[in-house]
Structure 1
Amino acid sequence: MLSGKATTQSASGSAGLGGLLSGKTGAALGGGALGLLLGSKKGRKMGGKILTYGGLAALGVVAYKAYSNWQQQQGSAVTQAQPQTLDRLPAPQAEQHCYGVLRAIIGAAKADGHIDDRERELIDNEVARLTSDGALLQWFDAELKKPLDPADIAKSATTAELAAEMYLASILVADEQSFMEKAYLTELAQQLKLAPALKAELEQQARQAVTAAG
């Protein structure tokens, strides 16, 4: 979870993660640090393209469609609220979603066992070029260094919609042909407490997004 210091400083202005991952600045970070993080891993370039196009709001659009389809499948007579995905949230809540989604992306990028020294150096240099926010830089450093723990990552999912976005980001980044990464995704879905039908819908929307991006 975020420290109070990191949350306060990063939410105070455009230097925060939400500012970096939305709009024009988000495209820059997406094409830079996230692009390096994702593109350096075998089999993830297409997923990286989807995640970084126009910032992370594009991920929210795909998650919204998946979540809405899942709600309709439930057949409940009760009117259900519109999903509050990343693309539909005001800035403070979007900031929190950005942190959760990026934690998921970093976790999925580490699921094959490691991020090597060269990849880490490239990521650090790019993030430092885009922000001078000390708390944000420390957050990136801590997330990249910490051992991979799906249960810890899942703690960031404070809403059902954020859980869906985090899983969607993870399956777009990870290589499902890899035993280690497939096992990681299975455990993450369990820790996020995703309903089986929602999990399947997210996976279907991810496949469609990859096809469309190709």
Structure 2
Amino acid sequence: MGKEGSTAETTSSSASTSSSRCVDLPTIIVFDLDDCLWTPEMHELSGMPSIPVEGPLDPTDDGSTIGIVGMKVPSSRRRGGVRGFDWGGNDGTEEVVELYPGARMALRELVTNPKYGGIRIAVASTSLEPAYSRACINGIEIAEGLTLRDMISYSQIGRSGKLTSRKTGHFRLIHEESGGVPYEEMLFFDDCNWSDHVGDINREFGVLGVRTPQGLTLTEFYRGLEMFGSQKR
């Protein structure tokens, strides 16, 4: 799992929070999943991640409430290596899908800080294994008794039907399902490691986006909010 310095992230969180208190906030924040909120990617798994993995819900506090922080694939065997990763296989290592620490902290901030109470959460993912993605969304907790599924208002996952390898279809459906929330009222986070979804969605709809090539960090989360507020002024 990708690592972040919790002390540095906590410091960044405090500084960014104080500097962004008065900015306008987006109506909808749209997150990518693979390599943005969590790791590994769904197509790298050998099967359905269906076994809950417990741990501290707050990655900066070992004494925090214990909850479901990951979802594990039952089998220890997997397909041939992808991108050089070896999340589980012949060496006996486990395949566990977990949120990046910064992503977990950003999501916890969204559900615990009253300032963000009016923001709706959406996900836009071109996952090759949408059923795996949904299993993780349904199982992983952000706060005690609160799963990702509970947080998400609009979920567009996959590449079938109106959805393709571009995310334009994902955003059109989010726009429709939200009752027509203007695209300029959305903020988008995506790793963009395989395709420039942030640039594509900005050109197509004018949605402000932030690239998260190493997985979402708190610094990137707060920077996105600050950028959004600046453009609204």
Q: Same fold (TM over 0.5)?
A: no
Length-normalised TM-score, structure 2: 0.33
Question: Could you say which structure has the larger radius of gyration?
Answer: 2
What TM-score comes out, normalization by structure 1 length? 0.35
Question: Counting strand residues as a fraction of each chain, which structure ranks higher?
Answer: 2
